[in-house]
Structure 1
Amino acid sequence: MRYRLDVVARDVSEVVQFAGGWLVDRVMAGWDVTVLISGDDDLRPLEILGVQIQDLESALEDWTERPHPQTVAVAADLFAADERVRRGVLGALEQGMTEVTLWGESWPAELNAAVGSVRHELSAAARAFKAQALAAIPGLSAASVEATETFRCGLTALPSVAADLTPAS
């Protein structure tokens, strides 16, 4: 059985900047990683990361019929802006069967009790692929790819399937 990670975002650059290295490491570990994205951004940076890509609107319409992933990663601003995404995240946290990971600069206050700060140490390969993906986005610099990426994570009731996210404190 392959583990699944669904990433929910509006913007290609946001996915690459905040989670690009983590996604590469998950793909290299054998995970099926799918980025569900809206808009008409150039998808080449996501292809560089090695992820699958699907339309966000179509995925949200068929969400109940999709196989449930072990992890869902969501842009925090999309959580705040889209009621469907918000309901899905809160439902996953309540059920405790799916690890929920969020990234971004503005954290929803209603999640403070349900999520904790975690980080992922990027492999050398993840840093290299992330740098290439960043270079493929107009206006972004690949010069400073950090060694870690930081997230907020609501863990499942069961032991996590991924040992790559560790407490940030």
Structure 2
Amino acid sequence: MKGEKAGGAVTYRMHVIAGDAAELAANAGGLIVDRMMSGWRVSAQLLENSDAPGDNRSVQILGAELVEDMESSAGEEGEQCVLVIGADSYDRVIADDARQLPAGLAEVLVWGRSPDPTCTFGHNLSAAALAFKTQAVAAAQLTDGETADEVAVAESFTSMNVKGGGVPLRA
């Protein structure tokens, strides 16, 4: 079983940080659903407007756990954790009092303006991920940019490759 440590199985966790549910659903909704379906534990942290009516619903549709901060979603020792974050939030986290990213990350994936265009890759959404992402986008009531009728079938990320090899996410 995936979660058993006795057999030497590695467990995976993904923590997603976004400004609000609309940003989360539009940029990483498909990756969230595909990782959940692969047995990953996924948590989401919203930096702004986390009390907006569609926020909780959007996160629930995607299957993630809504948390206040990354520490409240901390997993077991030995668990591989991937941080997924928007470029603006990434800049804010790094610049905030010269703070570092949390220790123990296997990889950091950034959407939006790429800090390193040579490390960009696309994630093609499964049919299920596309369906759930479309519903989450609609629940977040996106009014500017992407609408539920225009949800992309791929998402683009820059891998910051925190620990050398990182966690392969191109499945």
Which TM-score band (shorter chain)?
0.7 to 0.9
Match of residue 8 from structure 2: none
Alignment of 1:45-84 (within 5 A): 45-56=58-69, 59=70, 62=71, 66-67=74-75, 69-82=80-93, 83-84=95-96
Cα displacement (A) at 1:161: 4.2
- Partner Cα separation in structure 1 for residue 108 and residue 97 of structure 2: 12
Counterpart-to-counterpart distance in 1, 2:28 and 2:88: 14
Give the aligned partner of residue 143 of structure 1.
149
Query: 2:37 aligned with 1:34, yes or no?
Result: no
Q: Which of 20, 23, 26 lines up with 1:17 in the alignment?
A: 26
Change (3 A) 1:139 1:161: closer
Number of aligned residue pairs: 150
Gap regions ≥5 residues in structure 2: 4-10
TM-score between the two structures when normalised by the length of structure 1: 0.75
Counterpart in the other structure of 1:167: none
- Report Cα offsets for 1:103-158 as digits up to 9, x if no partner: 12x34xxx438x71011010000000011111112244211222211011122323
Give the structure 2 partner of residue 100 of structure 1.
108
Displacement after TM superposition at 1:85 (Å): 9.6
Contact 1:70 1:161 in 2 (8 A): no
Where structure 1 has 5 or more consecutive residues not aligned to the other structure, the ranges are: 165-169
Give the TM-score, by structure 2 length.
Answer: 0.75
Query: After TM superposition, what 4+ stretches of structure 1 lie above 3 angstroms from structure 2?
Result: 65-69, 82-89
TM-aligned CA distance change 1:54 to 1:85, over 3 Å: farther
Identity in percent:
31
How far, CA to CA, are the matches of 1:152 and 1:159 in structure 2?
Answer: 12
